[in-house]
Chain A
Amino acid sequence: SQTIHQWPATLVQPVGSPLSLECTVEGTSNPNLYWYRQAAGRGLQLLFYSVGIGQISSEVPQNLSASRPQDRQFILSSKKLLLSDSGFYLCAWSEGGPGELFFGEGSRLTVL
């Protein structure tokens, strides 16, 4: 069966520090991968998605970037965090189709 792992679950970082959130999917190949940010009252905002290794589509201009170094690995990064980067980040995958979107448990980032 397929599983998705996302880490770290909780992160507290100072303003200006770097960020790396990782997500891996097991039990499938060539998944579509997604990074979302969830804010209260604003639903889930699509940040990045990828349909293959090295293929990244950015949805919102911001202080973040994404990379897909391996087929089932998706990384969300920042070189210098801003206060506004605080939030709940969710990684997700699908097999395309479009079929069901499967979510990780999320990473709560607090920037101080």
Chain B
Amino acid sequence: AQSVTQLDSHVSVSEGTPVLLRCNYSSSYSPSLFWYVQHPNKGLQLLLKYTSAATLVKGINGFEAEFKKSETSFHLTKPSAHMSDAAEYFCVVSGRTYKYIFGTGTRLKVLA
């Protein structure tokens, strides 16, 4: 079985400071991992994905995530937050079963 846990339901950062959104996964086999973003009243957009290649994955808008098998983590980071980063972020795990399992989401608030 696969599952994903997003450790923080809400994160607040000041503009220009680093962002860290935490995600832990559970999978019986080598997972594929994704981060999606959903801005208010918008659809879901892929930020980045890990599919067993490089463990440090770079995505759009300056975001990146590192796959750490020993810690079963796939945390999302950005060096400097921008006001436009305010949104809800979802960590997703998938694998051989074709299912995509979403975390409960982390709402990021960026303070001016």
Contact = CB atoms under 8 A, between A and B. Distances in A.
Interface in A21-43: 32, 34, 36, 41-43
Contacts of B105: 41, 43
A59 B1 CA distance: 12
A43 B44 contact: no
Q: Is the interface of B mostly helix, strand, loop or mixed?
A: strand
Given A43-B105, A44-B90, A101-B92, A32 B9 contact: no
Contacts of A101: 34, 36, 44, 46, 92, 94, 100
Contacts of B100: 34, 46, 92, 94, 98, 101
B49 interface: yes
Contacts of A42: 104
Nearest to B31: A98
Give chain A's interface residue range (CB within 8 Å of chain B).
20 to 34
Contacts of A106: 43
Nearest to B96: A98
Given A41-B9, A49-B99, A59-B99, A100 B104 contact: no
Interface of A: 32, 34, 36, 41-46, 49, 51, 57, 59, 90, 92, 94, 96-101, 103-106
